[in-house]
Amino acid sequence: MNTPKNIAIIVGSLRKDSLNRKMANALIALAPSSLKLEIVEIGALPLFNQDSEAEPTPPVSAFKQQVQAADAVMFITPEYNRSVPGVLKNAIDVGSRPYGHSVWDGKPGAVISVSPGAIGGFGANHHLRQSLVFLNVPAMAQPEAYIGNASSLFDDKGAIASDDARDFMQKFLLAFEQWIDHHQAR
């Protein structure tokens, strides 16, 4: 039996009951046995300050170790002002430093944006992809995942209530597994 691929999930919202965290937890439950998804928390990370690079705090060290140990990374984010939340941008910056020692470098990635709005966080999804290009994170292009109208997407236990949405997210996970395989073979 093959060892499951470890996927670090970075949730761009700190709210305990956020739609994005619900999506992360729903995907953890939906994942095939070949994928092990785990949320890597970002709320305790201090604001990035280059002066602190030489002596990282315990939350920074733990965050970097978790991401570094992952085979791939999945970002699940809301949209704030047509971009990603500051806490997510901070996590990206913290993980990318010091220069030449980025934990993101070469890790296959996927982006899911979840929003109560109709356009599903399209702006945040694409803004995040711009950063991932610079960080050398090959982000899966298809299928795209802009999950709109998400306020009614989950049942009272946090599972995806819609059969169509559940089917789409299962296909998304399988496509991401193929994406990881493609990039690990290189």
Contact present, 7 and 140 (Cβ < 8 Å): no
* Per-residue pLDDT, 186: 66
Compute CA 68 distance to the chain's CA centroid, rounded to the nearest angstrom: 14
Where does residue 63 fall: left (phi above 0), alpha (psi -120 to 50 degrees), or beta otherwise? alpha
Query: Hey, which bits of 30-178 come out as E strands?
Result: 35-39, 72-77, 109-114, 145-147
Question: Does pTM surpass 0.85?
Answer: yes
- Which pLDDT band, with edges at 50, 70 and 90, does 7 fall under? very high
Reported as a single tens digit per residue, the pLDDT across 101-160 is 999 999 999 999 999 988 889 999 999 999 999 999 999 999 999 999 999 999 999 999
Compute CA 148 distance to the chain's CA centroid, rounded to the nearest angstrom: 17
* Per-residue pLDDT, 158: 93
Full 3-state SS string of 7-72: EEEEECCCCCCCHHHHHHHHHHHHCCCCEEEEECCCCCCCCCCHHHCCCCCHHHHHHHHHHHHCCE
DSSP class of 1:
-
The residue whose two tokens read 């002596």 is: 55
* Per-residue pLDDT, 118: 87
Query: Is residue 163 over pLDDT 70?
Result: yes
Query: Is residue 1 over pLDDT 60?
Result: no
Contact present, 108 and 185 (Cβ < 8 Å): no
* Per-residue pLDDT, 6: 98
Reported as a single tens digit per residue, the pLDDT across 21-75 is 999 999 999 999 999 999 999 999 999 999 888 889 999 999 999 999 999 999 9
All domains of the chain, ordered by start, with CATH?
Answer: 5-184 (3.40.50.360)
